[in-house]
Amino acid sequence: MRYNTPVLFIKNNNLEAIMTKTRKIVLLVVALVFIALLAVEGITGGSGNMVDCPDCENGHCPTCDGTMEVLDKESGELVACPDCEDGTCGTCGGEAVVRGSLWALLPPVIAIGLALITKEVYSSLFFGILAGGLMAARYSPFASLDAIMNDGLIAAAADTAGIFIFLVILGIIVSLVNKTGASAAFGKWAETHIKTKAGAMLATFVLGVLIFIDDYFNCLTVGSVMSPVTDKHHISRVKLAYLIDATAAPVCMIAPISSWAAAVSGCVDIEGMSDIQLFVSAIPFNFYSLLTFVFIITLAIMGYDYGKMADFEIKARAGESDKLPGDDSDAAVVGNGVIWDLIIPIAVLIVACVFALIYNGGFFDAESKYFHNFVGAFGNTDAYGALPWGGLIALVISAIYFLLRRVINFNEMMKSVPSGFIAMVPAILILTFATALKNITGLLGAKYFVGNMMQSFPTALLALLPAVIFLVACVLAFATGTSWGTFGILIPIVSVMFEVGNPLLFVGISACLAGAVCGDHCSPISDTTIMASAGARCNHVAHVETQLPYAITVAAISFVMFVLAGFVPNAFICLPVGIALTVGVLFGIRYLDKKRKAKTSVEE
C-alpha cells in the first residue's frame, strides 16, 4: 500500500498538468474563433440588421396612433398621449424597424464560454462587455468606450444600486449574528434536531420554499441561516448554492404572491382574463419549477450526486471546505448568543421586507388603486427600492436588540459594517458586470430578433409550440441572464399565438415561464445565480459548473413534458407522468453511474 500512494500522486499530477495544457489549447482555439466571428461581423455588419418593430406597424405611437391625443375614460375628453410627445413609437423612433440579429447573442456567448473554460468570471464578463460595446458602436474606439461605460457599466451600477445596498445590509446582519454566537448556537441546536445529511438538505429546501416572496431575499437569507447546518453535515457549499438556486426562482415563479408573480402580471394583457387568473392557471404546467422540487427531494432521499457535484461532496465528506476565504462565518465570536438571537433578526427582516414591498406597491396609500389590496400592491411594487428599505429597518432593530441583550458591545458591532461589506464585494462586482452585459446585449436588439423569430413559427405545428417556446426561453434567458426580461419579451408574443379558451394558452405561458427560470438557473451571468453563490459564499464558476448537469437533466425532462402537454393539455395527466419520469431518470442515472464505476474499477 505504501508504494501505491506515490504512484497515484504522480499520476494525478501528470493528469492535472495534461488538463491544464489542454485547457490552454482549448482557450486559445476558442479565443481565435471569437476573434474570427467578431471580424466577420465587423466586415459584414451583421449586427446592424433590422427587424419589424414589435410595438407598432407604421412607426406611429401604438397608444394614440400618431394623433398625440387619447380619450380620457373619466372625463370623456381628449387629453395628451401619456406615452409619446410627437406621435412616434418610442421603441423604433418612428422607423417601424429596430435593430436585431443573431449576432446580438455573441457577447453573452463569449462571456459564458470564457467563464466555463478559464474558471474566472470577472475577465470573462468584461470581454463579453467589450465585444458587445465594439459591435454596438460599429468598432469606433471612442463610441465603443462610451457604450461600455455609459450604457453598460454606469447604467448597470445605477439600475442595481438598490440591490447593492440590500446586499451590504444583509452582509452586515450576517456578520452581526455570527459575532454574537447565534449562528454557533443554531449549529448546536441543529446537531441535536437535524441528525442526517438528508435532513439538512430537506430543511434547506423547506426554508427556501417558505421564503417565496423574492428570489434575492430568498438566496441570501437561506444561505445565511442554513450554512452552519450544512457545514456540520459535511455538505459542500456548492451543493448548498444549488439547493438555494433551485428553490429561489422556481418557488417565486409558482407563488401568486411574490415579486416574480408581480413581474409576470405586468406582462399579461389578455381580454376577458385577469393577470393573476392566468398566472394561477399556468402553475400546474410549470414543469421545470415543479419537477426541480421533485428532483431535489429525490436526490436528498437517495443520498446521491453525479457530475462535478459528486467530486465536491466527496471532498466535503473528507473535511475539505470549498467556502470562500472571506466567509465571515469563521470570524471570532465575541458574544454568548442563543438561537433566538438568530431567529429574531431573520423574522424581523422577513416582516420588514414584506411590509416594505407592499408599502412600496401602494397598499397604505389611500390615493392608490391598490389601497388595502395585498396582491395588487405586490403587483405594483419595486423590489429594488423596497428590499433595501426593509433591510435597513431590520438592521436598526437588530442592532438595538443586540445592544439591549448585551451580547455584543457597540465597538464590535461597528466592526461588522466593513466586514459585511467586504463579504459582499464579489457578488456586487459580478452583478455589476452581468447587468452591464445585459444592457449591451439590449443595445444589439437580442430580444427583438428572438421575438421576430417566434412570430414566424408555422401555425400547423401548434401542438409542438409549447416545447419550442420552452427551448427559446431557455436559450434567451441563458444568453442574457435575465428571466424577467425573457418572459417580458415572450409573453406578449405567446399570448397572441393562442386563442382565449384554448388550453394550450396556459401551457404556452407556462412554457415561457419555465424556460425563463431554466435559462436563468443555468446562466453564469444571471443575477439569481450570482445571489445563490453569494448566499452560500462559494466560488461562482464552481457553482455554475456543478449545478449545470442537474438543471439540464430537469430541463430535458421538462421538454418532453411540454411535448406531451402540447397534445394532452391536462395537468392531472402530465404532472404525475413528469414526477414518475424525474424519479425514474435519477434512478437510471445512478444505475449507469454504478455500472461505469464498477467497470472502471475492474479495468484498474
Alpha helices in 181-257 (DSSP H): 182-193, 197-210, 215-232, 237-253
Instruction: Mention every residue, 6+ apart, whose C-beta is less than 8 A from residue 382.
Output: 360, 361
For residues 415 and 258, the model is more confident at 415
Q: Record the cell numbers describing residue 142, joined without a space.
A: 471612442
Mean pLDDT of 161-175: 81
Give pLDDT, residue 12.
Answer: 43
Ramachandran category for residue 87: left, alpha or beta (phi over 0 → left; psi -120 to 50 → alpha): left
- Banded pLDDT at 1 (limits 50, 70, 90): very low
For residues 98 and 299, the model is more confident at 299
Report the alpha-carbon angle 490-163-120, nearest 5.
80
- Banded pLDDT at 552 (limits 50, 70, 90): very high
Q: Is it the case that residue 66 has pLDDT exceeding 70?
A: yes
Per-residue CA distances from 158 to 149, 150, 325, 488 (Å): 12, 10, 29, 21
Mean pLDDT of 60-69: 80
Contact between residue 60 and residue 21 where contact means Cβ atoms under 8 Å apart: no
Residue 15: exposure state from Cβ atoms within 10 A (0-12, 13-18, ≥19): exposed
Helices and strands in the chain: count of H runs, count of E runs: 25, 4
For residues 576 and 39, the model is more confident at 576
Q: CA-to-CA distance for 31 and 458, rounded, in angstroms?
A: 37
Q: Is it the case that residue 153 has pLDDT exceeding 80?
A: yes
- Banded pLDDT at 556 (limits 50, 70, 90): very high
Nearest to 440 by CA among 191, 23, 111: 111
Residue located via cell numbers 455500472: 595
The CA-to-CA distance between both ends of the chain, in Å, stands at: 15
pLDDT in tens, 383-408: 777 878 888 998 999 999 988 888 88
Nearest to 121 by CA among 586, 543, 546: 543
| Domain map (residue ranges) of the chain | 161-272+327-425
Chain CA centroid to CA 332, Å: 33
Residue 154: exposure state from Cβ atoms within 10 A (0-12, 13-18, ≥19): middle
Residue 456: exposure state from Cβ atoms within 10 A (0-12, 13-18, ≥19): exposed
Q: Is it the case that residue 426 has pLDDT exceeding 70?
A: yes
Give pLDDT, residue 3.
Answer: 34
Q: Is it the case that residue 457 has pLDDT exceeding 80?
A: no
Mean pLDDT of 322-346: 69
Give pLDDT, residue 218.
Answer: 76
Local structure of 78: helix, strand or coil = strand
Mean pLDDT of 510-533: 87
* Cut 0.75: pTM above it: no
